[in-house]
Chain A
Amino acid sequence: MLSSWINRWSRNWTTPGLLRDKGVVGMNRRNIGYISKYNDRRLYPLVDDKLQTKLLCQEHGLASPELIGTVTSQFEVRGVVDMVRESTGFVIKPAKGSGGKGILVIEHHDGEEYVKPSGVRINRADMERHVSNILSGLYSLGGSPDVALIEGLISFDQAFAEFTYEGVPDIRVIVFKGYPVMAMMRLSTSASDGKANLHQGAVGVGLDIGTGWAVRGVQYDRPQFAHPDTGHDIFSLKVPQWETLLVLASGCYEMTGLGYLGTDMVLDRRHGPMLLELNARPGLAIQMANGEGLRKRLELIERQPDGVPVAERVAFARKHFARSKEDVANVGMAPIAD
């Protein structure tokens, strides 16, 4: 009885040696070896403030959702209605919000009533109160006064419709010294309440850097082969316009100067990959989604010289980090290489 319990318990644990062989990067190594070594703290505000990120994107010509306007003081709140009059759908979000808090999505409106994706209608006063709450810091870290951003609504690529429950699937690429080293897609589920946060139960799908094909799926850190709500086979997932997306992600290195960066992107039906936001402290769950440690890839990149142009970096990464065809065949799918 006791021995079986110990047995079951020990089956959930591994040894440092095995993890090291797999090249898994732990929290301590990420913090000391990568974040504090390659990310200058002075540059953090560029990514922690979504407004600054957005302005940088416009300056560097990186694709990101259209900025309709910003609201910086309470007396401008009444102007929001005029700002959005011409746009069909739009999103209001706090510049310094975190974890998706305080984001209001409006699909369409007639100037009086505003309709959310869930079908709920709100009126002008509700919307103005939301903006006012953002300004007073209700959603920002530490409650400091904030700025509200109004962005055009992205029309999501229908390719992913069967892979998501309510929410928006986004693609996270870790960019190290400008090279895309690992990628995953986050699919919201009913367990995650439509949010794309992995620890809340979203499915993480590792993506092959070479092709954009799915390589593995995990939910709650454990393997998952189909979307838990739609039942759709995860290995049939392939991200289109993969090259464009990698180029967009890699360009963020020059834009921010941050060496170890998490880039979050979405695919727009008409405009292709668009940068949603950046993260200077990206998590380690991407290793779980890919079934592979980051360390060997990061060490290979550390040996590469500085000053390589974006296109060459992407080509280098696609060549070196691609899964072999046998590997992909192993998991039951035989994708056609593109």
Chain B
Amino acid sequence: MSRFAFYLLVSLLMLIGVGLTAYRHISFDVPWVPGAQQKVWDIEAQVTFTATGGPVKASLALPENQKGYSVLTENTASSGFGLSYLDDLPGRRAEWSIREAAGSQLLYYTVTMLESDNSTPAAIKRLPAPQEVSWERPYDTAAAQVIDQARAKSADSFTFARELIKQFDGQRQGENGRLLLTQFDRPDLMLRLLNEAGVSARLVSGLSLEDGRRRQNVSFWLQVFAETPENGQTVDLDSADAEDINTDWVLINPETGKQGEPDNLLLWEGRGAPMLEVEGGVNSRVSFSMIRHNEPAAVAVRNKLANDELLNFSIHSLPLEEQALFKTILLIPIGALVVVLLRVLVGLKTSGTFMPVLIALAFIQTSLITGLIGFLLIVATGLVIRSYLSRLNLLLVARVSVVIIMVIAIISIFSVLAYRFGLNAGLTITFFPMIILSWTVERMSILWEEEGPKEVLKQGGGSLLTAVLAYLAMNNPWVRHLTFNFLGLQLVLMAFILLLGNYTGYRLLELRRFKPLTED
């Protein structure tokens, strides 16, 4: 290909890229910088179940305005199903129905939530009265004893709930606690015990919002009320004409007993009703994907509506689950650019050309320090064990396969150790790509045998440095914002890398290497 055609291609790519980017900025009002705007969450609930052939009714709890979040828009997608929103009780629900369905079914519900400090929570209409609980022997005596102990150490409903959960804590878990846990789920058991003790409480479902997460599940929380309805008050669930009541309540984590909700918790279902009810189907489950945007709320609404246009060919018209995936995929070219820069302009040696990018992707999941420590631990341990393997004279494929199993074993052991020592960050070690790590161990080990430990340090250090720089570039909020919102930039990146691939000048490290040549 002639030089002219090459530069024509590069400038064409550059032009299209810049054009697309400018177009998106101007006509969709997408800002250049993140942060200044309000945060908007797109959350997609995906309901799956297997229909048994008859009529089907599926009802899903829907989120309401609440402290910190308010609902902007909502959408559903479900072929062939009738849909109605039920606003009466208890809480809002979407109900899908169909006369006849068989086989696996897929229903979507998407909601756009605005993160805001001054949203008005929906009022609590009625205090849930403690329900009658029946216990079988010997669980009744165990429950009574647990309740007595917690009551002795507490002053009010909140402290009682906390003390109660402490009774089931790993170390303080008594005989009674162990017995009860064999029979009941933990969140369910806590609710039963609270009700048994006459405390108003219910189980609500919350979703931890984290950008780009897919296939998430809700977690259960205990909503404990300060007051308890008068004895004998009837239990008719939130009826529409009930009066608003003002009451104090807190959320308590049924696993840890910690009081108060985390910042990023969205209460998806806040009425003590089930998340999902399916009649005429089995194996039902609901999972969530979410993405965060930084844009004016008005734009978020407009973009949502634009999704329905036929001509909207952008990643932003994909289902959220895929969008969340693309958020990461679109960062990979940035990592590749860092690698190209470091190799072509600096001359850094790495082990495996794009291995550092994959390690950097893992760092995004694990956070930098944990990731670095984890990586060094795995590779160092791997090298030690691998040095024994080289004495066995194995064929390459077999050897690398053994290394893979070894790496998995190391990761498992470190995860267990980290968990034992209470280092939860250590558990993220499983995010490392194991095949890549195995090849890294294999390559480093061969390098060690052929060139000595110095070269291993040089290339290993080079790889880690590249990975850290790639991580810093890919984890930069500004970069994340730009790559996801302006797809045209990918073409600009490509043009830039094409130009770099043509660079015949010196590498930075060559200025040091060839220094003696300029001396005489």
Chain A residues within 8 Å of B, Cβ to Cβ: 12-16, 18-19, 21-22, 24, 26-29, 32-33, 99, 101, 133, 136-138, 142-143, 199-200, 218, 221-223, 287-288, 291-293
Contacts and interface: CB of A to CB of B under 8 A. Distances in A.
Given A24-B517, A136-B395, A19 B450 contact: no
A288 B517 CA distance: 6
A2 to B, nearest CB: 20
Interface residues of B, number: 25
Interface string B378-421: 00000000000000010111000000000000000000000000
A28 B341 CA distance: 12
B68 interface: no
A218 B516 contact: yes
Contacts of A15: 511
B511 A13 contact: yes
Nearest to B503: A28
Interface in B494-513: 502-507, 510-513
Contacts of B395: 136-138, 143
Contacts of B510: 19, 24, 26-27
Contacts of B452: 200
Contact of A26 (B393, B506, B515): B506
Nearest to A140: B396
Interface in B221-258: none
Contacts of B185: none
A14 B504 CA distance: 18
Contact of B507 (A28, A142, A293): A28
Contacts of A287: 514, 517
B7 to A, nearest CB: 15
B516 A22 contact: no
Contacts of B503: 28
B210 interface: no
B16 to A, nearest CB: 26
B277 interface: no
A28 B514 contact: no
B514 A19 contact: yes
Contact of A291 (B451, B513, B520): B520
Interface in B443-494: 450-452
B394 to A, nearest CB: 9
A12 B512 contact: yes
A13 B507 contact: no
B368 interface: no
Given A28-B503, A28-B507, A32-B502, A18 B518 contact: yes
Given A143-B395, A223-B516, 16 more contacts: A12-B515, A13-B515, A14-B514, A15-B511, A16-B511, A26-B505, A27-B510, A28-B344, A32-B504, A137-B396, A138-B395, A218-B516, A287-B517, A288-B514, A291-B520, A292-B517
Contacts of B502: 32
Interface string B13-33: 000000000000000000000
Given A28-B344, A143-B395, A291-B520, A16 B514 contact: no
Contacts of B518: 14, 18-19, 21-22
Nearest to A222: B516
Given A24-B517, A29-B504, A138 B512 contact: no
Nearest to A223: B516
A53 to B, nearest CB: 22
A18 B516 CA distance: 11
Find the residue from B451, B511, B514, B515 having the highest chain A CB count within 10 A.
B514
A55 B123 CA distance: 90
A140 to B, nearest CB: 9
23 contacts: A12-B512, A13-B515, A16-B506, A18-B518, A19-B510, A19-B514, A19-B518, A22-B514, A22-B517, A22-B518, A24-B517, A26-B514, A27-B510, A28-B507, A101-B450, A137-B395, A137-B396, A143-B397, A288-B514, A288-B516, A288-B517, A291-B516, A291-B520
A287 B513 CA distance: 11
A73 to B, nearest CB: 16
Contacts of B504: 26, 28-29, 32-33
B517 A26 contact: no
B346 to A, nearest CB: 11
A234 to B, nearest CB: 15
Contacts of A16: 505-506, 511
Find the residue from A14, A101, A136, A287 having the highest chain B CB count within 10 A.
A14
Nearest to A133: B393
A221 B516 contact: yes
B515 A14 contact: yes
A167 to B, nearest CB: 16
B212 interface: no
A28 B506 contact: yes
